[in-house]
């Protein structure tokens, strides 16, 4: 893990109210059990810092690893992720490492208990290979929005999309070019997006496998839409 990425991840976590360990232990995805997934019939407002689950649905998680695994598949688009052990931060937060394969790059999923029912919510994700510097967490975005950071990817291409709160649909797509062949390099670009009534949303950056098109890694940042 590079010093730059350590600082990037720490800044993201502190901004989200997290303090966590930076050690990782990989293991296979555990079977989803009914004890780890709960449902609710109450109507809730989406927590301002949370991407997943969607508050308008009954889906809730009593286990942080199950929450991270669900997010990796349903939100980030991983096909069959290898999910690591929960790394405790403070008493209500931590992180879960996710890989596309046993040897894949780590995508760190940040989780926290945000509500009175003590269920687990996902705040975002980060990978050392896609480090977003602009925008920052909870920045108000106007179209077109400027994108900056450092990355490395196959043929240097990183795929970008913006989503509105509680939605899997993209309201804007783009791509940026950084480094390749494992060498980090700066990227700068823009993304235009359709006007939305949502106050919050997600900036999602991913790389895909040249072999089968599956998601290799992702960084997901909680943002706001300017009104």
66 phi/psi in degrees, rounded to 5: -65, -40
Confidence of residue 76 (pLDDT cuts 50, 70, 90): very high
Q: Report helix, strand or coil for 188.
A: strand
- Residue range(s) occupied by CATH 2.60.40.10 in the chain: 130-225
Mean pLDDT, the chain, as a whole number?
89
pLDDT tens column, 159-205: 999 999 999 999 999 999 999 999 999 999 999 999 999 999 999 99
Handedness of CA 74, 78, 80, 84 (dihedral sign): negative
* Domain 130-225 fold: Immunoglobulin-like (2.60.40)
Q: What is the pLDDT of residue 88?
A: 97
The number of residues in the chain equals 227
pLDDT tens column, 16-46: 554 333 333 333 344 444 457 765 544 579 9
Q: Enter the pTM of the model.
A: 0.85
Mean pLDDT of 6-16: 54
């Amino acid at each position: 893990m590079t010093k730059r990425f350590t600082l990037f991840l720490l800044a993201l976590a502190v901004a989200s109210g997290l303090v966590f360990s930076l050690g990782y232990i990989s293991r296979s995805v555990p079977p989803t059990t009914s004890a780890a997934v709960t449902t609710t019939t109450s109507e809730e407002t989406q927590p301002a810092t949370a991407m997943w689950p969607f508050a308008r649905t009954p889906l809730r998680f009593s286990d942080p690893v199950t929450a991270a695994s669900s997010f990796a598949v349903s939100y980030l688009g991983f096909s069959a992720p290898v999910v690591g052990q929960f790394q405790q931060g403070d008493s209500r937060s931590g992180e879960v490492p996710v890989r596309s394969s046993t040897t894949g790059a780590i995508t760190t999923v940040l989780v926290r208990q945000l509500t009175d029912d003590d269920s687990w919510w996902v705040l975002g994700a980060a990978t050392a290979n896609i480090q977003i510097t602009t925008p920052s967490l909870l920045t108000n975005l106007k179209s077109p929005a400027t994108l900056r950071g450092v990355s490395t990817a196959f043929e240097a291409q990183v795929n970008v999309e913006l989503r509105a709160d509680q939605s899997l649909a993209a309201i804007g797509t783009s791509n940026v070019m950084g480094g390749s062949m494992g060498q980090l390099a700066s990227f700068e670009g823009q993304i235009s997006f359709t006007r939305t009534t949502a106050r919050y949303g997600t900036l999602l950056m991913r790389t895909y496998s040249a072999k089968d098109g599956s998601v290799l890694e992702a960084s997901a940042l909680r943002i706001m839409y300017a009104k």
